[in-house]
A and B are shown apart, each in its own frame.
Chain A
C-alpha cells in the first residue's frame, strides 16, 4: 500500500514539473527518494533549468566521460550526504544526446582498502575490442594518501554499464619516493604509442613546480613511471586534472586520444590548485621522445590561455566516435556561501558540454556548446539593424530570459574612438581591468553587450560586454562577464568577481559576436564563436523567474549596431537525473 502512495506522489510531482516547464514558479520542492525514506527540502530558486546537476547535494569534478554502445556516460564526484564536499563517490548518469540525463546507481564508492577513504577523480579509456576501463585515484588513509586504481564493468552487455568491479590487483600505481603522495591524482585517458605501449599522465607537484607525471604500460596492468614527466613548469603550483589529447590541424573533427601524425597537434591542459583556474598550451608530442613540448609562442604558466576565464574547473575531455567530436566537460562550483549551500541543499553544476577544435590561426582552441543544446530552443525572437547610441539599451522580450540562449552580432563604423590601453595595466590581468572598467564606466568603443538576469530597475544585473582598446598600433578586445552587481543580497560570503578575457580577433570586419547561455544562476558566454569563453555564477534576488529582464546596451561614445540578435526560450530537458 505504501509503495502505491509513493508512486502516486512521484507521478503527481512529475505532472507538476511538466506543467511549470519554463521557469518554474515553485521555489521549494520535496524529493522523496524511492530508495530511502528521508526527504530533503531543496530550494529551487537558483537551480538551473537545463544544466547537468543532480537533484540535491554537492558535486564537483566530472569523471570518466565516455561514449559506449549508444550512450554517453558521465560520472562525477558526488557527496551522498550533504551539500558540502566529503564522502566522495562516483555518481553515474547516461544520456543518448548529452542533454537528457538518466540517473543510475553510484558506480564507484569506497569499498576496498585501496579506496577506503575516498574515490577521487579519474578517466575512462576504451580498450581495443570496445572494452571500457576506468582509472581513478583512491584515498587509502586519513592523510589523503593517493594511489591509482582501475575498475571495469561487471557486465559488458548491460548498455547502461551500471555495475563496476574493482579487482584485487589494485592499486595499479602508488607514489614512489620521489613523488609527493598527497599530490598525486587524476589519471588521464590512456593513449597508445607507436611502440604499442599505453601511456597515462597523473597530476602532482614538487614544491612549487607543477608536474604531469608519465606512466607506461604494455598490458594496462603493470605501469612503470617514465624517467621524465610528460611536462612540468616551475612556479605554477600543484597540477590537478591534466588533460592531454590531439587536435586536427586540417579540419574540425575530433581525434581519438591515440591519434598521431603530421595533421595533429597536441594540447596539454592542467587545473591549477593554487589559483583555481586552468590553462592550456598547444604543442608537439611524439611517443618516441615521450615529452610534450609547448610551441614557442605559447604562454606556459599562470598567464596562459584558458578554456574559460570564469568559473570553470576540473575539466575533462573525451573523444566521441559517434560524431567524431572532442567534447569537454567542466564543473562550476557555487559562488555563494556555505550557509546558502547547506540551506538550499545543493551545490555545483556541470557546464554545457563544449566541442574543442583548433582555431584556423593555429594559435588557440575554439570551444562551442554542443549542437544538441539547440534542440532545447523554444520560442524565438529576433532583432535586426538596431542602432544603440551611447547610454541606450533595448529590451529583449517575449521569451523566458532567465532560461535562454542568445546570439548577437554587433557592428560599428569605426575603431577611432577606442580608448587607450593604460600601459600601467597588466596585459595578463584581464579581470583587474574589468573590475575597474565595468559596464557603467563609459568608454570609446564599448562597453557594449548584454545585461543578463537584470531586474527591472537595474538594481541587479550581470553584464556581458566588449570593450575595445588601442594598444601599440593594434587593438585589444576585452570580454567581461561581471558578477559585481548581480545581486542585492548581503554581499558578505558571496564571491562576485568581474571575470574577463581578451579576444584575439582581427577587427577589420568591424564586427564582434557574442553568445550567452543563461540559466537562472549561471551565464555561459562565448565571444567570437568560442575564442574566449567566460562562465559566471550569480544569485539574483529580484531578477528571478518572470522578474528577470534581458537588455542589449551600449555605453561607449561610438554608436554600435545590433546586426542580428536571436534569442530563444530554452526548454527543460525531459529528464535531468530524476
Chain B
C-alpha cells in the first residue's frame, strides 16, 4: 500500500503529464491550424498570446482570431477619429469612407462571424473575406489624392492579414 504522500505525488505527476500532453496537443493544433493560413507567423503569435488558446478547439481558435480582427478594427476607428480631428481637407473624404468601412466591419462582419462561426461557419467565412476586402477599400480611398496616413495604413494592412488568417481557420470548419 502506498502512503498518502506517495499517492499524492503520483496523482500530481499524472496531472502534470496530462496537462503537458494536452498543452502539447493544443500547441500542435495551433501549429497545424496556422499552417493552413496564409500568414503562419501572425496566426501563431496572435493565437499563442490569447490565454484561452491552449485548451481551444479549432472553432475557438477561429473565435480568437475574429476577436483579434475586432480589436484591430476598434484601433482603426480610433486612429481614424484622431486623424479627423486634425481637420485636413485632403484627407476628410477618404477618412469619412474609412469610418463607414470600419463601422460596417464592426457591426456587420465581426458580429456575423461571432454569431455564426460555430455551427454555420459559411457566414463567418464570407464575413472575414469581406473584412479583408473592405480594409483594402479604406486604403484605396486615398488613391490619387494623398498618401494614406502611415498610422492608418499600418492598421489597414494588419486588419487585412488578420481577416485572411481568420477566414482560413474558419474554412477548416466547413
Residues of A near any B CB (own CB < 8 A): 82-86, 120, 139, 142-146, 182-183, 237-238, 273-274, 276, 337-339, 341-343, 490, 492-493
Expressed in whole angstroms, the minimum distance between the Cβ of A286 and any Cβ of chain B is: 33
The reply to whether B174 and A182 contact each other, CB–CB distance below 8 Å, is: no
At the interface, yes or no: B133 with Cβ under 8 Å from chain A? Answer: yes
Q: Is the CB of B137 within 8 A of A493?
A: yes
Among B104, B116, B118, B136, contact of A338 (Cβ-Cβ < 8 Å)? B104
Q: Please tell me if B101 contacts chain A, counting CB pairs below 8 Å.
A: yes
Is the CB of B107 closer than 8 A to any CB of chain A? Answer: yes
Judge whether A493 and B133 touch: CB under 8 Å.
yes
CB proximity of A43 to chain B, nearest CB, Å = 14
Q: A338-B127, A493-B130 are in contact. Are A276 and B122 (CB under 8 A)?
A: yes
Expressed in whole angstroms, the Cα–Cα distance for A396 and B133 within the complex equals 37
Is A339's CB under 8 angstroms from B119's CB?
A: no
Q: How far is the CA of A83 from the CA of B109 in the complex (A)?
A: 11
Partner of A146, one of B111, B119, B136: B119
Q: Is the pair B174, A274 in contact by a Cβ cutoff of 8 Å?
A: yes
Partner of A85, one of B112, B136, B140: B112
B104 in complex: contacting residue of A144, A339, A490, CB < 8 Å? A339
- CB-defined contacts of B108 to chain A, threshold 8 Å: 82-84, 338-339, 341-342
Q: CA of A276 to CA of B107 in the docked complex: distance in angstroms?
A: 24
Q: Are B174 and A490 in contact (CB under 8 A)?
A: no
Main secondary structure of the interface of B (DSSP, over half): helix
24 residue pairs of the A-B complex, CB under 8 angstroms, read A82-B107, A84-B107, A84-B109, A84-B111, A85-B116, A86-B111, A143-B118, A144-B118, A182-B118, A183-B119, A237-B174, A273-B174, A274-B174, A337-B134, A338-B108, A338-B127, A338-B130, A338-B134, A342-B104, A342-B107, A343-B100, A490-B137, A492-B136, A493-B136
Which of A86, A339, A341: most chain B CB closer than 10 A? A339
- Report the number of A-B residue pairs with Cβ-Cβ less than 8 Å: 75
In the complex, what distance in Å separates the CA atom of A142 from the CA atom of B60?
Answer: 12
CB of A184 to closest CB in B, whole Å? 9
User: Among B109, B122, B134, which residue has the most Cβ atoms of chain A within 10 A?
Assistant: B122
Q: Mark B94-121, 1 if CB is under 8 A from A, else 0.
A: 0000001100110111011001101111
In the complex, what's the smallest C-beta–C-beta distance from A12 to chain B, in angstroms?
32
A378 and B104 CA atoms in complex are apart in Å by: 40
The CA-CA distance from A330 to B125 in the complex, in Å, is 21
What is the interface of chain A mostly: helix, strand, loop, or mixed? loop
Residues of chain B having any CB pair with chain A under 8 Å? 59, 100-101, 104-105, 107-109, 111-112, 115-116, 118-123, 127, 130, 133-134, 136-137, 140, 174
- Are B137 and A492 in contact, CB atoms less than 8 angstroms apart? yes
Closest Cβ–Cβ distance, residue A5 to chain B (whole Å) = 32
Distance to closest chain B CB from A86 (angstroms): 5
**CB-contact partner of B119 in A143, A338, A343, under 8 A:** A143
Which B residues are in CB contact (< 8 Å) with A341?
108
A144 touching B134, Cβ below 8 Å: no
> Which A residues are in CB contact (< 8 Å) with B123?
85
Tell me the smallest distance from the CB of A68 to a CB of chain B, in Å: 29
Min CB–CB distance A3 → chain B (angstroms): 33
Contact present for B119 and A145 (CB under 8 Å) = yes
Distance from B61 Cβ to chain A, minimum over Cβ atoms (Å): 14
Nearest opposing residue in chain B for A494, CB measure: B133
Q: Which residues of B contact A274 (CB under 8 A)?
A: 122, 174
Instruction: Tell whether A86 pairs with B115 under 8 Å between CB atoms, given A339-B108, A493-B130.
Output: yes
Instruction: List, in ascending order, chain A residues with CB within 8 A of B104's CB.
Output: 337-339, 342-343
Question: Which 9 A-B pairs rank lowest in CB-CB distance, beginning with the nearest?
Answer: A144-B119, A182-B119, A339-B104, A338-B108, A493-B133, A274-B174, A84-B108, A492-B137, A338-B130
Q: Write out the residue numbers on chain B whose beta carbons fall within 8 Å of the beta carbon of A493.
A: 130, 133-134, 136-137
CA distance A146 to B116 in the complex (A): 12
Taking the closest CB of chain A, its distance from the CB of B108, in whole angstroms, is 4
A207 to B118, CA, bound (A): 15
Chain B residues with CB below 8 A from A492, complex form: 133-134, 136-137, 140
What residues on A are CB-neighbors of B136 within 8 Å? 492-493
Chain B residue at minimum C-beta to C-beta distance from A86:
B115
Among residues of B, the one whose C-beta sits closest to the C-beta of A184 is B119
Alpha-carbon distance between A238 and B119 when the two chains are bound, in angstroms:
11
